[in-house]
Structure 1
Amino acid sequence: MSSKFSNAEESPGFMLWQVTNVWQKAMRKALDPYELTHPQFVLLFSCKWLNEKNDHTGITQIQLAQHAQMDVNVTSQVLRTLEKKGYIERRSHPTDSRANVITVTKTGDEIASQAVQAVEEEDRAFFSDLGNEIGHLNRILKQLAHR
């Protein structure tokens, strides 16, 4: 046998992959009415959230990518799509000629606010079987995410 695991359920990586696929399917279902992909939602809502935390002064693409832990090039592609949809605006950074300031439009704010409700509802349903163990799962996921 080429694996140290006697069955697939013993492999944490394989189980994470399976859970991720099932969860992503649930997210697609929740986001379909808003015509958003999950990466689009993550960046749109993160942009809204970060701008609110920064008194609506705008954030840079790098700040957004770091917050979402997403590749900068992928972030740029997704932001281009969100801009075409009229959900975000990009303008030149006042002090850094290499950067853009990203803000959420009124339409983008409304879509993000509606979509987050659907996503959080789907999350609650998806993780409901964990009961009080959800906090433990979050601590483990946070530990893995911040490597």
Structure 2
Amino acid sequence: MSSEFNDSQESPGFLLWQVTNMWQKEIRFALEPLALTHPQFVLLFSCQWLNDRDCPQGVTQIQLAQHARVDVNVTSQVLRTLEMRGLLNRNPHLTDTRAKVITLTPQGNELASRAVQAVEAADREFFAGLGADTDQLKRLLIQLAKR
């Protein structure tokens, strides 16, 4: 079996995989003191973000899954865990009987705010070596995310 690349460092996919693993390790470390997994953080903070900006009456599980680009079944499982911890409420939607509206509890809001501080600090440290190239990386990632 052969590859089109002579060196593993020529493969953008393999490099992305390596860097992603390194970054996820740093994020896990940052979230550990808060007893949150990375998917829990993403959905908890996304809920806070969407409720604050776009959905003051509560975001639906589907909206949350689409925003975070997380599978709807995974979203439901993670939200169930966060609900059991008292961090959010999942209530029936007023007009769509199949939908659940997600709102954070005061404890969930406080934890989401603390967690985003920890994650953003970890991001600043992880990406600091890029300096001014950080903006270029963001532009490239946005371009890839539009696919």
Shorter chain as denominator, the TM-score bin is over 0.9
- Give the deviation of 1:55 after TM superposition: 5.5
TM-score (norm 1): 0.98
Q: How many residues align?
A: 147
What 5-or-longer segments of structure 2 have no aligned partner? none
Amino acid at match of 1:146: K
How far apart, in 2, do the equivalents of 1:91 and 1:121 lie? 33
The separation in 2 between residues aligned to 1:45 and 1:55, in whole angstroms, is 14
Q: Deviations over 1:35-89 (max 9, x none)?
A: 0000000000000010011362101000000000111111111101110111110
Q: Distance in 2 between matches of 1:28 and 1:60?
A: 26
Over the matched positions of the two proteins, sequence identity in percent amounts to: 64
> When the two structures are superposed, what TM-score results if normalisation uses the length of structure 2?
0.98
Give the direction of change, closer, same or farther, for the CA distance of 1:55–1:145 in structure 2 (3 Å limit). Answer: closer
User: What is the distance in 2 between the residues matched to 1:100 and 1:55?
Assistant: 13
Could you say which residue in structure 2 is the equivalent of 1:4?
A: 4
Q: Distance in 1 between matches of 2:136 and 2:55?
A: 33
Q: Does 1:32 align with 2:32?
A: yes
The yes-or-no answer on 1:91 pairing with 2:115 is no
CA deviation string 1:2-34 (max 9, x = no partner)? 101001100000000000000000000000010
RMSD: 0.9
What are the ranges of 5 or more consecutive residues in structure 1 without an aligned counterpart? Answer: none
What is the CA–CA distance in structure 2 between the aligned matches of 1:129 and 1:21, rounded to whole Å?
A: 17
What pairs with 1:49-60 in structure 2 (closer than 5 Å)?
49-54=49-54, 56-60=56-60
1:27 and 1:79 map into 2 onto residues whose CA distance is: 20
Matching residue of 2:142: 142
- For 2:117 and 2:135, the matched residues in 1 are separated by 20
Q: Within 2, Cα distance between the matches of 1:69 and 1:146?
A: 12
